[in-house]
Amino acid sequence: MKNFKTLQWIGDCDGFLELTDQRKLPAQFAAIQCKTPQQLYEAIKTLAIRGAPAIGVAAAFGICLAAQETEKLKLAEALSHIEKKADFLSKSRPTAVNLFWALERMKNKARSFSAQNPDAEVKDLKRCLLDEAQKIYNEDVEMCCKIGVNGERFIPDGSAILTHCNAGALATAGDGTALAAVFEAQRKGKKFRVYVDETRPLLQGARLTTWELRQAGIDVTLICDSMAGALMKDGKINAVFVGADRIAANGDTANKIGTYSLSVLAKAHNIPFYVAAPSSTFDLKLKNGSQIPIEQRQPQEVINYMNVQTAPQDINVYNPAFDVTPAENISAIITENGIIQQPTEEKIRKIIGQV
């Protein structure tokens, strides 16, 4: 579908990470280069790159950037440096579990390589880590494809679906999670319409999702967040598709703020509510959604937008980036491994595994 790269590694072991700068879309399509872990930290923190799977892939390449800083160190010293930089990157955002999953996987790879090759040179470690990061990237692309194939069945021909925030190609290395099902339905020749919530306060739906869907030639209509209930009441929505940033063992799901409200509205109007997410977004160490850490972002995101003041400067602001949708509001979770209908912990562990 897409003719752009959300993120890509340029060059060999001494290369750099290039990101599509999502802060500037849709007005400007621009790329930024991250050549140090610090630059990547800022890119994640300021939402130049966002979306749980994309953040995870970027973090994997961030370890490759950290490894570049160990050229003059011994292997044990290099490993220590890499682990410190991994801990540093883990503090960029707290909710999307893919970030921590990818960093842990890269640390484990560095540890196992060092243990198995104690006399190896740092250049060999750098090669090993870049290979692993590329593997994570390729797995993400394949994951998107499988989620799309598994999810398109829930988009009937002639239907209209609603989505919130951005769970498309800009949020992953591939076609996306929730939008992967949309793109697959398009490839199957289905005719349908997508309604997109603007997604306040940063308008990821308005800025990013509508841009992606128009690029793909899909019938898309933008709505304000407050309009979703009215559309459901009027019978204009057949299903809701969203992504996820972290899913607890019982199926409670953290996603962009406003997702919970949509799940309540969908349940009230007997509309199926689907979550699309890879296995790396599940955090089975957490029993339920009350244990998911919710990122609190700066008041300026609500008070100002695009350098325009939209509220009194000294007003009190509550600005959580995410909310948690309870499992009982979710019709199914669509993963690369299969469909989890009416999710429970038993069903999730059967599809996702025990870790």
Which class for 302: exposed (0-12), middle (13-18), buried (19 or more C-beta within 10 A)?
Answer: middle
> What is the DSSP annotation of 115-144?
HH-TT--HHHHHHHHHHHHHHHHHHHHHHH
pLDDT of 153 > 60? The answer is yes
- Residues 83-131 have pLDDT tens digits of 999 999 999 999 999 999 999 999 999 999 999 999 999 999 999 999 9
Q: CA torsion sign, 229 to 230 to 233 to 235?
A: negative
DSSP H or E segment with residue 170:
none
Instruction: Please state the pTM of the whole predicted model.
Output: 0.96
- Asked if 102 and 92 touch (Cβ cutoff 8 Å), the reply is no
pLDDT of 51 > 90? The answer is yes
pLDDT of 180 > 80? The answer is yes
Q: What is the pLDDT of residue 135?
A: 98
> What is the DSSP annotation of 14-57?
T-EEEEE-TTSTTT---EEEE-SHHHHHHHHHTTSS-SHHHHHH
Report DSSP state, residue 281.
Answer: G
What angle separates helix 178-187 from helix 122-151, to the nearest 10 degrees? 60
Q: Average pLDDT in the 158-166 region?
A: 98
Query: What rounded mean pLDDT belongs to the chain?
Result: 96
List, in order of start, the domains of the chain with CATH numbers.
7-146 (1.20.120.420), 149-352 (3.40.50.10470)
pLDDT band with cut points at 50, 70 and 90 for residue 354: low
Q: Average pLDDT in the 43-52 region?
A: 97
pLDDT band with cut points at 50, 70 and 90 for residue 330: very high
Q: Average pLDDT in the 305-312 region?
A: 90
- Residues 7-21 have pLDDT tens digits of 999 999 999 999 999
Report DSSP state, residue 321.
Answer: S
Q: Average pLDDT in the 42-46 region?
A: 98
Token couple for 327: 């499992």
Of 305 and 355, which is predicted with more confidence?
305
Q: What is the pLDDT of residue 3?
A: 76
Q: What is the pLDDT of residue 150?
A: 98
- Residues 234-293 have pLDDT tens digits of 999 999 999 999 999 999 999 999 999 999 999 999 999 999 999 999 999 999 999 999
Alpha carbons 239 and 266: distance in angstroms, whole number: 8
Closest CA to 330 of 257, 246, 241: 241
Closest CA to 62 of 97, 89, 100: 89
pLDDT of 307 > 90? The answer is no
Q: What is the pLDDT of residue 2?
A: 61
pLDDT band with cut points at 50, 70 and 90 for residue 355: very low
Q: Which residues are catalytic?
A: 245
- Residues 215-250 have pLDDT tens digits of 999 999 999 999 999 999 999 999 999 999 999 999
